[in-house]
């Protein structure tokens, strides 16, 4: 106890000294510093500094007391008190009634006896992460650092170690920035209007006797609102002063924290960072902070297009729970990596969650994914780190649909999908192919000149020693001859990076489809006219097939929300041959040809032409064979109408 007291006094002296040096006393903004506690002043902050834009990849982890039961998910602390939930029944069967063994009783079982911060940091570095850190506090009210704000902290209870302090030292020693994430805005159990709200509202509703213990009440967040808000901010300032995080990440419910608390915290953090000589980042969800101050985060989601602002995705390595559970399923590396590449191409950054066990070990299947990502980045990191988005993010048939948080998408990328990045000086273009191509690769989004191609410009594949042969087709697009390599000879797995140097590249006009708010007319939304033509599933997507009768047609109703000129494309497949087709859109008609793609399951985007919409509204679209005497079947996945402005 004496050692503990001395340690706290030493830390208090450090905080007072730092406060005097920065002019920061209590919760007020730093006197004489750049930022005051108001939104206009805080907008002077650079929300996305270069280090963040360069880093691209970070790792954090849901690891805490909720890892002990290893059942359900990280919301076990809440769900265990909801009668009828699987956690409620499991808890009674395994540990006994909640009144005899509540969530706080797991704390002594959270020993983290095998936790090694150095081992974790070394793993994150090998995975290619450029920033890393813990969930500092989840909704459950347990602080993973040595806190003077609450008795429920990792130094006083459970591991009885300063987990955050150990991680900060190890992460920085391995050359990474340090991040702390906070979910504690939800912890407060308080009466909002006529209803009790908070993570533990069912404790108040069905187990009120558990709140009679004063110490347990703190963990449950059961205290007056003003007292909780002071603690909410006090915890943040404590972590800022003791661990100097480069990035502070917030979960939802930050909007329930009054402006005066949010602005004073931000002013304190930004002024401290200015004193340290550091550029720091704050992230938020939904509209919890102005975008001019922080970086918007899409939980389990991402943008569906290239944005002119930087953003963050936080996603987990598993399917389902964010914390370790005994039945946790881990995603394949290919899925995690392809999502990461798509994120970077659209001006995003990935914060990937892993799920350690309560004892402090990271399961081998999670390690394997991290290490395979790291091996890929050793070869292709040049196309990821320190890059910026190109003029379009990519090309190919596979897109996520509507962007944002919690996207529901079960598609899979292929070698037809390409994502672009560029060097910061704009002199190098990278094309990342999301699978090994069996044929020559045409970069249909890229225009280059024949003269440049003859003047010593190069196309290389990262990790491969020889430059690649290429030609420039009649549309000024590079067509690259890929070397014949089996899986063991390829420079990496999962995705392959082309590097274009010495070219004055520009975007092919038709590639604008990938950067705009286009309208997609899919097979499952079509009305089919005829007895044989039908919708089927191929490549895990609906397509229109059995189109053998040239008298049969396909109809859509297209809702056009903005007038103007649109390019029209179609995704088709046909083993061989070439057949003329006709697209009618009200009084406009386009004729085009569908050439053989090499198989019914090998699609290609066909450029159909341009149409003009003089006004918004619903338009009737008809697709049909143009020559009934010279017809053989094609398969169709979708039409795309993309605004050209």
Number of Cβ within 10 Å of residue 37's Cβ equals 19
Contact 202, 195 (CB under 8 A): no
- Of the residues 366, 385, 404, the one at which a domain ends: 385
Contact 636, 543 (CB under 8 A): yes
pLDDT in the model for residue 14: 43
Return the beta strands (E) in 366-445 as ranges: 387-388, 394-395, 418-423, 428-433, 441-442
Residue 18 has pLDDT above 60, yes or no: no
Tokens linked to 195: 């209803």
pLDDT, mean of residues 334-349: 98
pLDDT in the model for residue 2: 36
Q: For residue 136, how far is the Cα from the chain centroid?
A: 20
Q: For residue 59, how far is the Cα from the chain centroid?
A: 12
- Helix 225-243, helix 259-276: angle, nearest 10: 10
- Residue written as tokens 């899409």? 298
Say if residue 264 is in the same domain as residue 363.
yes
Number of Cβ within 10 Å of residue 227's Cβ equals 12
Residues 6+ apart with CB under 8 A from 193: none
Rounded Cα distance, 299 and 301, in Å: 5
Say if residue 483 is in the same domain as residue 543.
no
Contact 280, 293 (CB under 8 A): no
Which CATH number belongs to the domain containing residue 617 in this structure? Answer: 2.60.120.260
pLDDT, mean of residues 106-112: 98
Rounded Cα distance, 474 and 460, in Å: 22
Residue 392 has pLDDT above 50, yes or no: yes
Cα distances from 431 to residues 125, 256, 380, 531, 586, in angstroms, run: 25, 43, 11, 44, 38
- Residue written as tokens 């017809």? 631
pLDDT in the model for residue 24: 52
Residue 564 has pLDDT above 70, yes or no: yes
Say if residue 507 is in the same domain as residue 376.
no
pLDDT-above-90 percentage for the chain: 85
Say if residue 636 is in the same domain as residue 497.
no
Given the DSSP bridges, would you call strands 281-284 and 295-299 parallel, antiparallel or unpaired? parallel
- Of the residues 490, 514, 538, the one at which a domain ends: 514
Contact 53, 247 (CB under 8 A): no
pLDDT in the model for residue 512: 66
- Of the residues 486, 514, 542, the one at which a domain ends: 514
pLDDT band, very low/low/confident/very high, at 104 (cuts 50, 70, 90): very high
What ranges in 23-69 are assigned the alpha helix state H?
Answer: 39-42, 50-55
pLDDT in the model for residue 312: 98
pLDDT, mean of residues 470-477: 91
pLDDT in the model for residue 463: 98
pLDDT, mean of residues 610-633: 95
Residue 308 has pLDDT above 70, yes or no: yes
pLDDT, mean of residues 535-561: 94
Burial label for 449, CB within 10 Å (0-12, 13-18, 19+), is middle
pLDDT, mean of residues 487-493: 97
pLDDT band, very low/low/confident/very high, at 449 (cuts 50, 70, 90): confident
Residue 7 has pLDDT above 70, yes or no: no
Residue 5 has pLDDT above 70, yes or no: no
Cα distances from 418 to residues 434, 435, 493, 638, in angstroms, run: 6, 9, 15, 19
Say if residue 400 is in the same domain as residue 341.
no
Rounded Cα distance, 480 and 485, in Å: 15
Contact 397, 603 (CB under 8 A): yes
Contact 61, 135 (CB under 8 A): yes
pLDDT in the model for residue 397: 86
Give residue-wise pLDDT tens across range 63-101: 999 999 999 999 999 999 999 999 999 999 999 999 999
Rounded Cα distance, 392 and 421, in Å: 9
SS3 207: coil
> What is the domain count for the chain?
3
Say if residue 46 is in the same domain as residue 157.
yes
Contact 586, 641 (CB under 8 A): no
Residue 26 has pLDDT above 60, yes or no: no
Residue 11 has pLDDT above 90, yes or no: no
Least trusted range by pLDDT, from 17-21, 83-87, 227-231, 301-305: 17-21
pLDDT in the model for residue 451: 62
Give residue-wise pLDDT tens across range 46-66: 999 999 999 999 999 999 999
Say if residue 502 is in the same domain as residue 528.
no
H or E stretch covering 54: helix 50-55
Residues 6+ apart with CB under 8 A from 288: 250, 252, 254, 255
Rounded Cα distance, 25 and 11, in Å: 15
- Residue written as tokens 């010495």? 502
Contact 285, 253 (CB under 8 A): no
Residue 513 has pLDDT above 70, yes or no: no
Among 279, 288, 218, which Cα is nearest to 251's? 288
Say if residue 268 is in the same domain as residue 133.
yes
Residue 13 has pLDDT above 50, yes or no: no
Rounded Cα distance, 468 and 393, in Å: 23
pLDDT in the model for residue 514: 60
pLDDT band, very low/low/confident/very high, at 643 (cuts 50, 70, 90): confident
* This prediction's pTM: 0.84
- Containing structural domain, residue 482: 390-514
Tokens linked to 325: 């559970």
Burial label for 378, CB within 10 Å (0-12, 13-18, 19+), is middle
Which CATH number belongs to the domain containing residue 418 in this structure? Answer: 2.60.40.1180
Least trusted range by pLDDT, from 285-294, 377-386, 454-463: 454-463
pLDDT, mean of residues 185-204: 96
Q: Which of 330 and 513 is assigned the larger pLDDT? A: 330
Give the dihedral sign, CA 381/386/390/392: positive
- Average pLDDT along the chain: 93
Say if residue 371 is in the same domain as residue 402.
no
Rounded Cα distance, 598 and 594, in Å: 12
pLDDT in the model for residue 539: 82
- Residue written as tokens 């998408």? 409
pLDDT band, very low/low/confident/very high, at 541 (cuts 50, 70, 90): confident
Say if residue 560 is in the same domain as residue 411.
no
Number of Cβ within 10 Å of residue 628's Cβ equals 10
pLDDT in the model for residue 454: 61
Q: For residue 613, how far is the Cα from the chain centroid?
A: 35
Rounded Cα distance, 346 and 388, in Å: 9
Say if residue 89 is in the same domain as residue 56.
yes
Say if residue 419 is in the same domain as residue 529.
no
Q: For residue 631, how far is the Cα from the chain centroid?
A: 45
Largest CA distance in the chain: 96
pLDDT in the model for residue 205: 97
pLDDT in the model for residue 126: 98
Residue 281 has pLDDT above 70, yes or no: yes
* Residue 208 backbone zone (phi > 0: left; psi -120 to 50: alpha; other: beta): alpha
pLDDT in the model for residue 29: 44
pLDDT in the model for residue 452: 63
pLDDT in the model for residue 6: 40
pLDDT in the model for residue 511: 78
């Amino acid at each position: 106890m004496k050692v503990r007291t001395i340690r706290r006094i030493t830390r208090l002296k450090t905080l007072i000294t730092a406060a005097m040096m920065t002019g920061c006393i209590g919760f007020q903004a730093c006197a004489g510093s750049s930022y005051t506690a108001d939104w206009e002043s805080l907008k002077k902050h650079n929300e996305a500094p270069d280090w963040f834009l360069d880093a691209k990849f970070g790792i954090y982890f849901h690891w805490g007391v909720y890892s002990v039961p290893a059942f359900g998910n990280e919301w076990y602390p809440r769900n265990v008190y909801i009668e009828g939930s699987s956690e409620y029944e499991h808890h009674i069967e395994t540990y006994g009634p909640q009144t005899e063994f509540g969530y706080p009783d797991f704390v002594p079982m959270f020993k983290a006896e095998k936790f090694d911060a150095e081992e974790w940091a070394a793993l994150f570095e090998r995975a290619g992460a450029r920033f890393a850190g813990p969930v500092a506090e989840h909704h459950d009210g347990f602080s993973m650092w040595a806190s003077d704000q609450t008795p429920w902290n990792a130094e006083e209870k459970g591991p009885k170690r300063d987990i955050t302090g150990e991680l900060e030292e190890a992460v920085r020693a391995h050359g990474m920035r340090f991040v702390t994430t906070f979910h504690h805005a939800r912890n407060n159990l308080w009466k909002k209007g006529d209803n009790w709200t908070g993570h533990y509202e069912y404790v108040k509703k069905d187990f009120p006797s558990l709140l009679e213990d004063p110490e347990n009440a703190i963990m449950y967040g059961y205290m007056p609102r003003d007292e909780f808000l002071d603690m909410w901010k006090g915890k943040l300032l404590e972590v800022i002063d003791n661990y100097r995080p480069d990035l502070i990440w917030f979960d939802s419910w930050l909007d329930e924290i009054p402006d005066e608390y949010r602005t004073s915290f931000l002013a304190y953090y930004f002024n401290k960072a200015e004193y340290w000589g550091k550029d720091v980042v704050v992230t938020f969800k939904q509209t919890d902070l102005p975008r001019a101050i922080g970086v918007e985060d899409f939980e389990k989601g991402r943008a569906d297009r290239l944005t002119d602002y930087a953003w963050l995705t936080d996603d987990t390595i598993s399917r389902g729970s964010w914390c370790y559970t005994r039945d946790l399923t881990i995603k394949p590396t290919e899925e995690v990596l392809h999502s990461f590449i798509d994120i970077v191409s659209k001006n995003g950054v990935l914060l990937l969650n892993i799920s350690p066990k309560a004892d402090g070990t990271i399961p081998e299947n999670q390690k394997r994914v991290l290490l395979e990502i790291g091996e890929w980045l050793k070869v292709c990191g040049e196309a990821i780190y320190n890059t910026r988005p190109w003029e379009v993010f990519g090309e190919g048939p596979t897109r996520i649909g509507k962007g944002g948080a919690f996207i529901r998408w079960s598609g899979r990328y292929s070698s037809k999908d390409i994502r672009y990045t560029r060097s910061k000086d704009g002199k190098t273009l990278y094309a990342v192919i999301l699978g090994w191509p069996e044929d020559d690769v045409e970069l249909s989004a890229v225009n280059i000149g024949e003269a440049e191609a003859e003047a010593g410009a190069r196309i290389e594949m990262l990790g491969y020693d020889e430059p690649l042969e290429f030609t420039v087709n009649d549309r000024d697009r590079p067509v690259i001859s890929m070397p014949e390599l089996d899986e063991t000879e390829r420079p990496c797995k999962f995705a392959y990076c082309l590097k274009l140097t010495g070219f004055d590249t520009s975007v092919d006009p038709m590639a604008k489809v990938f950067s705009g708010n286009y309208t997609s007319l899919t097979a499952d939304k079509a009305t089919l006219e005829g007895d044989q033509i039908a919708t089927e599933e191929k490549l895990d997507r609906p397509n229109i097939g059995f189109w053998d009768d040239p008298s049969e047609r396909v109809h859509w109703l297209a809702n056009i929300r903005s007038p103007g000129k649109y390019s029209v494309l179609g995704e088709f497949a046909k083993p061989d041959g070439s057949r003329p087709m006709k697209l009618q859109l009200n009084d406009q008609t386009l004729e085009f040809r569908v050439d053989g793609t090499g198989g019914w399951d090998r699609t290609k985007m066909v450029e159909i032409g341009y149409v003009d919409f003089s006004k918004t509204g619903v338009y009737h679209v008809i697709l049909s064979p143009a020559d009934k005497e010279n017809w053989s079947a094609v398969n169709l996945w979708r039409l795309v109408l993309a605004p050209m402005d």
